[in-house]
Amino acid sequence: MIVFDNVVKHYPGGYTALDGVSLKIETGELVIISGHSGAGKSTLLKLIPAMERPSSGSVWLNDQDVSRLPRRAIPYLRRNIGLVLQENRLLFDRTIYDNILLPLIINGHPPGDAGRRVEAALDRVGLHGREREFPSGLSGGEQQRVAIARAFVNRPSILIADEPTAHLDPAYAAEIAELFNSFNSAGVTVLVVTHDVALFRHWSPRRLALAHGRLMEE
Amino acid sequence: MRNWLYLHGRSFLRALHRLGEQPFGTLLSALVMGIALALPAGGYILLDNVASLARGVSGTPEISLFLDETPDVAAQTEDIQHKLKAEPAVASIRYVPRDEALRQLESNGLGDVLGGLAANPLPDAFVVTLRSDDPGVYDALTAKMRGWAGVTHVRLDSAWVKRLSALLELGRVVLLVLAVLLGLALVIVTFNTIRLQILTQTSEIEVSRLLGATNRFIRRPFYWFGSLQGILGGLIAVGAVWLGVVVLTEPVARVAETYGAVIALTGPNWQQSAAVVGFAAALGWLGAALSVRRHLRGA
């Protein structure tokens, strides 16, 4: 369960990204967050893996106050959260296989088990057989699928994605949306920030809208 | 434990891969380290050769114990020999009976002088060598021997031992200062190399952080990188010293021959070589550790 309790986030220079946001997301929900540019959507997502800290209020994840977590505990928190960013943040000097393997190495998985998980993840995103290729040889949609495989290979309980379909053509975007829905069907809590709410309408997700740092509708 | 070893293995391979990615830069840094280390390492080997050479030219320093004249020579000799054997600093003991001493003097051309004497004036004696070159050890043992019953006189030719020891000590201090200064330079070289590495790996570091990597995980490959670079530098230093020994052996032998001496230079043994490589690895690790702490504060 994720709880935002009256969260305010100011950035240096006086810009307020979030202004008193309170919400509760139950385990296993599929949540779509929309809003205009600068509405605070990305900030909202970044507070969950402690990429940002709230200026006031608190963010709770399964009874753990993430906003007051000591620095040394943050890596362990992030290992339970799959993260897909707008820029896929792949390592272009490593193969697709090595990119997906990285979170498993970080998490200390034994090599044999890690290898099987990477293969399964590649299969899931439709890139089986291409593991020795480098990300630079893939299309935008394929790169995003590698990023998604990397996000869920560790079998996280929460998957958060910031504009995962932003630069993709409609066919690729629909494939990505389908992937997120399949994870949610497997019991993973999925939060997706997107401008393209229609992509997910088919699965009747819970919809949140942000405007000027405030939660406008739920 | 297995996982820890696995992670170190991966970091090691990653560091090796990074070294291989820039062969020219790696070679250049290793050469700088190797040449810098070769100076104190070569100096140490030179000092080692000088010490053994000096011993060869001047002979091993000896302590002579001259014994009292006594009716029970056998018991006295046995008692002193027993005491000498109990001394841990003693390397060898040679008993020289007075008759043998006389024969030695006669064979040295003093037969005519000694022939005029009614009886053999020489005492029985022990000639002792020590394990150490330290003048302090010689002085302490000589003082102790003077107090033994049955010993009438103890003679120590310590002047050259002291002179040699002082010279070797001076050489060691000079080398130590040189090693510290060059070691510092090597730490700075590694510090800067790792700084550049961190700059080129920024994206990987950021991604690793987002995926839950701990500080240790992020820093580990850089420690290995610094250590590996140090090991390469150390190997180059050992190679350079060996090359120096090989090149100098013949000219030094020719010079020595003109003085009627036989000199064979020796290179570093495997323990000394391992010490140089280990020291270089430690310097590389230190440079990497300082750099990582300075440039990865957030990691």
Residue B56 has pLDDT above 50, yes or no: yes
Question: Does residue B161 fall inside a structural domain?
Answer: no
Q: How many domains does chain B have?
A: 2
Mark which of B103, B128, B156 sits at the end of a domain. B156
In a shared domain, residues B171 and B286: yes
Domain of residue B140 covers 62-156
Question: Which residue pairs from A16-24 have beta carbons closer than 8 angstroms and sit at least 24 positions apart in sequence?
Answer: A16/A213, A17/A43, A17/A213, A18/A43, A18/A44, A18/A47, A18/A54, A18/A213, A19/A212, A19/A213, A19/A214, A20/A57, A20/A214, A21/A57, A21/A210, A21/A213, A21/A214, A21/A215, A22/A57, A22/A215, A23/A208, A23/A215, A23/A218
pLDDT, tens digit, 9 for 90 and up, residues A126-174: 888 898 999 999 988 889 889 999 999 999 999 999 988 877 778 888 8
Task: Give me the CATH code for the A1-80+156-218 domain, please.
Answer: 3.40.50.300
* pLDDT tens-place string over residues A24-64: 999 999 999 998 888 899 999 999 999 999 999 999 998 89
**One-letter amino acid of B247:** V
Shared domain for B152 and B287, answered yes or no, is no
Give the pLDDT band (50/70/90) at residue B54: low
Residues 59-78 of A with CB under 8 A from B: 72, 75-78
The model's confidence at residue B53, banded by pLDDT at 50, 70 and 90, is low
CATH number, domain with residue B125: 3.30.70.3040
The residue of A97, A106, A153 whose CB has the most chain B CBs within 10 angstroms, and thus the best one to mutate to test that interface, is: A106
Q: Would you call B108 an interface residue with chain A, using a CB distance cutoff of 8 Å?
A: no
Looking at the fold, whether B279 and B173 belong to one and the same domain comes out as yes
Same domain for B176 and B148: no
| Domain C-terminal end among B156, B184, B203 | B156
Q: Does B210 touch chain A (CB under 8 A)?
A: yes
- Burial label for A186, CB within 10 Å (0-12, 13-18, 19+), is exposed
Q: Do B276 and B149 reside in the same domain of the chain?
A: no
Cβ pair B211:A83 closer than 8 A: yes
Confidence at B299, pLDDT banded by 50, 70, 90: very low
Whether residue B262 has pLDDT greater than 50:
yes
Give the tens place of pLDDT for each residue, A55-113.
999 999 988 999 889 988 999 999 999 999 877 789 998 999 999 999 999 988 887 88
Cα-to-chain-centroid distance, residue A198: 19
Chain A residues with CB inside 8 Å of B208's CB? 102, 106
